[in-house]
Structure 1
Amino acid sequence: MNTDSEEEMDQEFVEQAIRDDMEFDELVLATARTTVYYHNNFLVKEPCRNSPYTGSMFIMEILKGNDRRCHEQFRMEKHVFIKLCDGLRSYGLTSTKGVGLEERVGMF
């Protein structure tokens, strides 16, 4: 015959076992998330910047492409880059024989 104290101890034992299982499950999930993050960011090597163009064609590809890529390359938005080039033209900076103004600003 179980007494009340034995039943309470059994209930506490069951509750502790459930808490332990939940903590273990949380640890497994955290480890899985960390593993997936590490895999995606450090092990998967996909070419990111693989444009076939160079020089002025590359600059035009960036200026006609995604806004985010322009910001990543030049650290400014497209309209700011274009205004900068126009402003430099108004001060007398010109294209040279082999390098266009936009390309020069992009390299800078």
Structure 2
Amino acid sequence: MAIDVPDESASLHLGNHIRGVHWMNFLGPPVLTELGGVEALRERLRSPGTTVQPLPDGRAVVMLGIEPDAGDVTQSSVLPAYRELASVLDPWMYFHGDTRPSVDAEAQRRWERRFLD
């Protein structure tokens, strides 16, 4: 299993944005509030195996299945549950863009938007 650990300066740029969609996604105010809360989010996420569990203090965890899925473009569509959640969270997604000069900005954009484009 991989864990996405942002660089130390990520918190300076994220604000109220989400870094991406993963197997486990922790949401809190204001994003969860703007989505209408846990029940409203549950109604928008229809992929089999997706769960939305409430947490204390107006937070929730969204799990996209019982275990992480690497996907297989030769077998089926590319991670439909991940795409579904990405489309719901799109207004709050944070994209690095060209903020890291050592990275090909276009390749970075494609990777960060892989569940949206």
Q: Which protein has the larger Cα radius of gyration, Structure 1 or Structure 2?
A: 1
Superposition TM-score, scaled by structure 2 size: 0.28
Q: Which of the two has greater helix per residue?
A: 1
Specify which structure has the higher proportion of strand. 2
Q: TM-score, normalised by structure 1?
A: 0.30
**Higher relative contact order, structure no. (Cα contacts within 8 Å, ≥ 6 residues apart):** 2
